[in-house]
Amino acid sequence: MHRSYLFVPANRPDRYAKACATRAHAVIVDLEDAVAPDAKASARASLVEWLPRAPRPVLVRVNAIGTEWFDDDLRGCVGAANVQGLLLPKAERASDLHRLADACPGTPVYPLIETARGLWDVLPIAQTTGVRALLFGSLDFQADLGIDDDDLLYARSQIVLASRVAGIEPPIDGVTQAIDDTELLRRDSYRARHLGFAGKACIHPAQVDIVNTCFAPTTDEIEWAQRIVAAFSEAAGSAVRVDDRMVDRPVLLKAEAILRERVDPRD
């Protein structure tokens, strides 16, 4: 499961390979927010020209449905080499996702929940065929509602809950803008992990390794999980006492999940 998603502007082809060379578990080439309107066409052309020789598959954030660039973005990306999925910004209705799935069947889709309207319909969006995981566009969401990041607990929890109910991968949290504030990045990452997010979007390569570490199980967690699994094995599935606590099957499931997560996907 991916932990770090690194954005790279589509109008900076000189940065494509650099992003791919990082330890980011996924690279997102961004045709939307990172590119000015008058540079959209040239950015798209740069991306389409580069994709066949990309050193690894990438995700592409297309422009939103209803914009003048959406159809051309799809034509450039659908069926192109090394496109492993599409991010759809401003996802607000399941019908938007149906349109995208019809246009590119078999291509994984990652809706960005960035508005109140998108959160209102988050479960139908998550349940749409082709959706792999949700991303939380926390900055746009704050702007839409006029609130601060500290006020987003409800929204984050709803996105995690909808992902679980829909049976898709756990969601990806939004970016931390402060590139040089490593403590804030760690705080944001640990908070997201504890809420049930699987990873976090990054806007700079320097953030990638920190995010990977924060979303990976710690040594103490792995050792605890190993003790739980070993104890349950010896107890033949019965409730058992470990570290002076009585633990049963839900705890075993948590321990098994931790052990599944301990391997870095890029290793």
Q: pLDDT tens digits, residue range 118-151?
A: 999 999 999 999 999 999 999 999 999 999 998 9
Whether 112 and 229 map to the same domain: the answer is: no
Q: Are residues 36 and 152 in the same domain?
A: yes
Residue 205 sits in a domain whose CATH number is 3.20.20.60
Distant-in-sequence, close-in-space partners of 184: CB < 8 Å, separation ≥ 6: 176, 178
Same domain (yes/no): 53, 78: yes
In-domain check, residue 266: no
- Pair (204, 234) in one structural domain: no
Are the beta carbons of 198 and 204 closer than 8 angstroms?
no
Position 35 scores a pLDDT of 97
Q: Which of 208, 206, 262 is nearest to 23 (CA)?
A: 208
The pLDDT value given to residue 263 = 61
- pLDDT for position 145: 96
47 shares a domain with 81: yes
Q: How many domains does the chain have?
A: 2
**Same domain as 161, residue 124:** yes
Residues 123 and 240 in one domain: no
Instruction: For residue 247, tell me if it sits in a domain.
Output: yes
Distance CA 48, CA 157 (A): 36
Q: State whether 232 and 111 are in the same domain.
A: no
For 103, the domain range is 4-215
> Is 36 inside a domain boundary?
yes
Q: What is the pLDDT along the chain (267 residues), one digit of tens a residue?
A: 689 999 999 999 999 999 999 999 999 999 999 999 999 999 999 999 999 999 999 999 999 999 999 999 999 998 899 999 999 999 999 998 888 888 888 899 999 999 999 999 999 999 999 999 999 999 999 999 999 998 999 999 999 999 999 999 999 999 999 999 999 999 999 999 999 999 999 999 999 999 999 998 877 777 777 777 877 777 766 677 777 777 777 777 777 777 777 665 554
d(CA 256, CA 168): 19
Same domain, 156 and 257: no
Helix (H) and strand (E) counts in the chain: 12, 10
Q: Are residues 164 and 229 in the same domain?
A: no
pLDDT of residue 237: 65
Q: Does a structural domain hold residue 267?
A: no
Is the domain of 85 the same as that of 121? Answer: yes
Q: Which of 215, 230, 251 marks a domain boundary?
A: 215
Do both 25 and 72 map to the same domain?
yes
Which residues, 6 or more positions from 9, have their beta carbon under 8 angstroms from its beta carbon?
15, 29, 30, 34, 35, 43
